[in-house]
């Protein structure tokens, strides 16, 4: 084995490479992802301490009255023990991991990806990056459809830096902004903003911000002072989905 090949491999030239192949490209939060990691040896034998997969998302962070796109890890999974990969040798390692329920939906500018890394002592760690689509699961999809059935349309979806009181394991929370386009709320509301948190397989907590349309001088003053926004907190369970639309309509009507 050439001394120079070892040196070059340590700085990433002719080193081992990694390629992650997921079973599919679209998932729902809470779903199990499967695939294989292909490791190809470089120009010199190398010892791999571990292979790990990290799930990342982007989110908007505000600083000094400016918005920045940042990224945060959602989950990190180790899928191998230490092993040696020979010169030009190929290895395939299967993996499975479950996407956390807090994984944001990839709507708008939000991106989610799986980064694969190799831990190699005294060497540059090769990495691979695979973007995936995250779709609403059944529970979230039912909630979103119920809102749209009341005459609202999605205007914007953003994964944002979470306020401290809602910051749990992650620094972000996803916000869905709706505007009324028909129905009974079209003339009385400006928008609804909905956030999902504390989600599990069969329930989720909702925080709904209701922004009433200004009416008359008092209404305009309230809007200027941001006093026209009211909050609704609800827990939605899978077993309650059939009655959820009427309950949501009742709660919103109460704040008109």
**pLDDT given at position 256:** 67
**pLDDT given at position 125:** 52
pLDDT tens track for 62-115? 888 788 899 999 999 999 999 998 988 999 999 999 999 999 999 989 999 999
Specify the 3-state DSSP secondary structure of 216: helix
Above pLDDT 90, what percent of the chain?
57
**pLDDT given at position 224:** 40
CA 175 to CA 157: how far, in whole Å?
A: 6
> Which of 75, 93, 11 shows the shortest CA–CA distance to 46?
11
CA 189 to CA 256: how far, in whole Å?
A: 7
> Count of residues for the chain?
256
CA 200 to CA 149: how far, in whole Å?
A: 24
**pLDDT given at position 16:** 81
Domains of the chain are 3-135 (2.60.40.640), 138-254 (no CATH)
**pLDDT given at position 62:** 84
Ranges in the chain, pLDDT < 70: 1-15, 120-127, 166, 212-229, 256
**pLDDT given at position 1:** 43
The three-point CA angle 59-66-71 to 5° equals: 20
């Amino acid at each position: 084995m050439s001394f120079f090949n070892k040196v070059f491999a340590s700085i990433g030239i002719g080193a081992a490479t990694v390629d992650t192949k997921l079973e599919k490209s679209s998932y729902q939060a809470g779903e199990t992802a499967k695939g294989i990691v292909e490791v190809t040896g470089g120009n010199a034998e190398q010892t791999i301490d571990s292979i790990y997969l990290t799930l990342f998302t982007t989110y908007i962070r505000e600083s000094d009255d400016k918005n920045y796109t940042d990224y945060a890890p959602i989950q990190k999974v180790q899928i191998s023990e230490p092993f040696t990969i020979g010169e030009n040798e190929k290895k395939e390692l299967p993996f499975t991991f479950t996407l956390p329920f807090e994984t944001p939906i990839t709507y708008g500018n939000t991106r989610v990806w799986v980064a694969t890394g190799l831990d190699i002592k005294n060497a540059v760690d090769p990495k691979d990056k695979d973007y995936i689509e995250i779709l609403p699961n059944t529970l979230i999809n039912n909630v979103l459809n119920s809102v749209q059935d009341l005459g609202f349309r999605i205007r914007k979806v953003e994964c944002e830096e979470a306020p401290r009181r809602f910051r749990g394991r992650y620094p972000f929370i996803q916000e869905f902004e709706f505007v009324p386009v028909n129905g009974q709320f079209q003339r009385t509301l400006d928008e609804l903003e909905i956030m999902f948190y504390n989600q599990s397989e069969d329930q989720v907590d909702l925080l709904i911000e209701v922004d009433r349309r200004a009416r008359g001088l008092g209404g305009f003053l309230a809007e200027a002072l941001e006093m026209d926004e009211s909050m609704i907190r609800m827990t939605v369970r899978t077993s309650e989905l059939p009655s959820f639309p009427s309950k949501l309509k009742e709660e919103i009507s109460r704040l008109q």
